DNA sequence: CTGAAAATTAGAATTATTCTAACTTCACCC
DNA sequence: GGGTGAAGTTAGAATAATTCTAATTTTCAG
């Protein structure tokens, strides 16, 4: 099942030796780099396959470790659709994930300016939201 | 003397023999009944444990089958938090799931009147939304 | 350089879920 | 009621994403 992104990504030339307090080992750098280049929400195995091209000796466990570390430090988002394998994308401006049922493609959807989802909800006053995940399934219009 | 109340059905006396086009076998009825009674988003194993009290011979596979059937027919919602085991609740008015990080408890949160989440999103005009899942993590205020 | 801490690795273990194949129950028709 | 085919249930095996373990390698501070 392929995925793709509606936005055109910009790729930083160089990843520094430390990011967000996370030491950038060559494995982590390669994993992060794969996600920066291919913004199509790959699974851990997908990342593994691509990273192997540059680092043939890397292990799947390391890919999981690296993804965990990157997610932990806020550099990467972990996206879950139902119980399917987790998918990963670089963390950008807040966005939600839309899966087109016809093609299976996952698109990033951004909010309209100034819109906050929690404004719509009857949350108790004073509730502190630390994380929020919205996934949508549907059909895109013909033109897409 | 034999006990006399073994086949008296639990809680909602009148779950009909068919619901939403789904034949209500005694296993499905019991699973549904558990979810109607305990609205705390149990996992499949949790449902299994509770259903066993009334139907000691039921198998875990059947619980999964029943939950699938109930979800398929729109009577039950399947809720996924990250990669944790799926949780289940009876389908009611549209709501989102809030997990309190302090207690781990999952709360149902309803929308404010007239609010539609898709109004906030830059979806291509004409996009048809078939399903939508919003999960939130956070901390409730002290008073809760 | 050296020792400790952190990271990586291969493979085993875990676990929620699905599959399989045999058995049972059900609904319908005679 | 009894026969029949479909639907549902069951126990146990299989699957697969992820995590764990224990051993090795790399990194960094002193």
Dist CA A95 CA A82 (whole Å) = 18
Confidence band of A106 (pLDDT split at 50, 70, 90): confident
Reference A137, options B91, B136, B134, B129; nearest CA is B129
Chain B residues 7-46, Cβ below 7 A from strand D: 22-23, 25-28
Dist CA A55 CA A66 (whole Å) = 14
Highest mean pLDDT among B7-16, B41-50, B99-108: B41-50
Dist CA B101 CA A28 (whole Å) = 29
Residue A46 token pair: 């997908």
Highest mean pLDDT among A5-9, A17-21, B33-37: B33-37
What pLDDT does residue A12 have? 53
What pLDDT does residue B12 have? 52
Contact A126 B141 (CB under 8 A): yes
Q: Which neighbouring-strand residues pair with A73?
A: none
What pLDDT does residue B6 have? 30
Q: Is the pLDDT of residue B5 over 70?
A: no
Decide the pairing of beta strands B22-23 and B76-79.
unpaired
Residue A66 token pair: 């690296």
Which stretch of A3-17, A81-95, B13-27, B57-71 has the lowest confidence by average pLDDT? Answer: A3-17
Q: Is B89 helix (H, G, I), strand (E, B) or coil?
A: strand
What pLDDT does residue A10 have? 43
Which stretch of A4-8, A35-39, B89-93 has the lowest confidence by average pLDDT? Answer: A4-8
CB A23 within 8 A of CB A17: yes
Q: How far is the CA of A7 from the C1' of D29 (A)?
A: 43
Nucleotides of C under 7 A from a protein CB: 6-12, 15-20, 26-27
What pLDDT does residue B64 have? 97
A43 phi, psi to nearest 5 deg: -80, 175
What pLDDT does residue B143 have? 67
The reply to whether B26 Cβ lies less than 7 angstroms from strand C is yes
Spatial neighbors of A103 by CB under 8 A, at least 6 apart, are: A2
pLDDT digits (tens, 9 = 90+) for B71-130: 999 999 999 988 899 999 997 778 888 988 888 888 888 888 888 888 899 988 999 988
What pLDDT does residue A144 have? 58
Residue A26 token pair: 């060559």
The reply to whether A10 Cβ lies less than 7 angstroms from strand C is no
CB A86 within 8 A of CB B86: no
Select the residue of A109, A128, A137 nearest B130 (Cβ to Cβ). A137
Return the percentage of chain A with pLDDT > 90, whole number.
44
Q: What is the mean pLDDT of chain A?
A: 85
What pLDDT does residue A36 have? 95
- For A80, which residue in chain B has the nearest alpha carbon? B82
What pLDDT does residue B24 have? 94
C-alpha to C-alpha distances, B73 to A39, A103, B114, nearest whole angstrom: 35, 24, 26
The reply to whether B63 Cβ lies less than 7 angstroms from strand C is no
CB atoms under 10 Å from CB of B85, counted, come to 12
Contact B132 A129 (CB under 8 A): no
Q: Which neighbouring-strand residues pair with A95?
A: A110
The reply to whether B47 Cβ lies less than 7 angstroms from strand D is no
Q: Is A90 helix (H, G, I), strand (E, B) or coil?
A: strand
Q: Please give, rounded to a whole number of angstroms, the shortest distance from the CA of B1 to a CA of chain A.
A: 49
> Would you give the DSSP letter of residue A9?
P
- For A113, which residue in chain B has the nearest alpha carbon? B120
What pLDDT does residue A116 have? 87
Q: What is the pTM of this model?
A: 0.83
What pLDDT does residue A4 have? 46
The reply to whether A60 Cβ lies less than 7 angstroms from strand D is yes
Return the percentage of chain B with pLDDT > 90, whole number.
44
What pLDDT does residue B99 have? 87
Q: Please give, rounded to a whole number of angstroms, the shortest distance from the CA of B88 to a CA of chain A.
A: 12
Q: Please give, rounded to a whole number of angstroms, the shortest distance from the CA of A117 to a CA of chain B.
A: 7
What pLDDT does residue B9 have? 33
DSSP secondary structure, B3-46, as one string: -S-TT---SSTT--SEETTEE--HHHHHHHHHHHH--S--BHHH
Confidence band of A103 (pLDDT split at 50, 70, 90): confident
Kindly state the average pLDDT of the residues A56-67: 96
């Amino acid at each position: 099942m392929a995925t793709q992104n509606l936005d055109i990504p910009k790729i930083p030339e160089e990843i520094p030796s430390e990011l967000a307090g996370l030491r950038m080992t060559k494995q982590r750098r390669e994993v992060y780099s794969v996600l920066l280049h291919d913004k199509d929400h790959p699974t851990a195995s997908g990342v593994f396959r691509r990273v192997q091209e540059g680092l043939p000796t890397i292990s799947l466990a390391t890919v999981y470790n690296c993804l965990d570390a990157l997610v932990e430090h806020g550099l990467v988002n972990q996206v879950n659709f139902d119980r399917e394998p987790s998918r990963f994308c670089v963390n950008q401006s807040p966005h939600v994930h839309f899966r087109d049922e016809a093609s299976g493609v996952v698109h990033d959807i951004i909010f309209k300016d100034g819109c906050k989802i929690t404004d719509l909800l009857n949350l108790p006053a004073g509730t502190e939201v630390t994380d929020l995940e919205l996934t949508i399934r549907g059909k895109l219009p013909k033109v897409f």
